[in-house]
Amino acid sequence: MSGSAFLQRTEIKVTFAINFYNTMANRPSLLPGILGMKCPNCRKGNMYINKSIFPLKEMMHMPERCPVCGQKMELEVGFYYGTGYVSYALSVGVAIFNAAWFGFFVGFSWKNNSIWWYLGITVAMLLLLQPLLMRYSRVLYLYMFVKYGSSPHRPPGQEEQTSVE
């Protein structure tokens, strides 16, 4: 191999490594994206119109498209029907989490009614957390279907071409 060809190859490799590093470094992380209820495609736009869960009536209102990248929020009609399983799994997760700390700090026993305390606390927590669990189950559901950067970024307002009569 001649010297210049070797240098050229090395240059390509280095450029590739730098590009790869930049892509990874500029990518907003997955976990803050999910916790912050951000769009899975750009991890910047909000998935819900209201940041607060109040008013409760508008709690589940989502924009049709991500305000930052234009990612569709409801991939198809009835897309979110499957979220029941996700919120069920999240509820089970809360119950297990409670069992862990309750078992550690209090302990389960029929004698001092502590098992009823556990059930009472868990049911109350699940009721209180219900709005958040519902929101997060949609977030997780959309993250399962849309990977980061999977659709090209489109500035807001620039809709896909629709056929005009």
Interface residue list for Zn ion (CB under 5 A)? 39, 41-42, 45, 66, 68-69, 71
Buried b (16+ CB within 10 A) or exposed e, 91-101: beeebeebeee
d(CA 107, CA 59): 37
Residue nearer to Zn ion on the CB measure, 41 or 87: 41
Instruction: Let me know: does 138 contact 83? Beta carbons within 8 Å.
Output: yes
Q: Nearest-5° angle of CA 119, CA 125, CA 127? A: 105
Contacts of residues 22-25 at CB distance under 8 Å and 24 or more positions apart, as own/partner, are: none
Q: How far is the CB of 87 from Zn ion (least distance, A)?
A: 23
Closer to Zn ion by CB, 69 or 139: give it: 69
Q: Which is nearer to Zn ion, 42 or 133 (CB)?
A: 42
Minimum Å gap between C-beta 45 and Zn ion is 4
| Least spacing, CB of residue 22 vs Zn ion, in Å | 20
Q: How far is CA 67 from CA 38, 39, 70, in A?
A: 11, 9, 6
| 162 residue type, one letter | T
CB of 150 to Zn ion, least distance (A): 11
Q: By C-beta, is 41 or 83 nearer to Zn ion?
A: 41
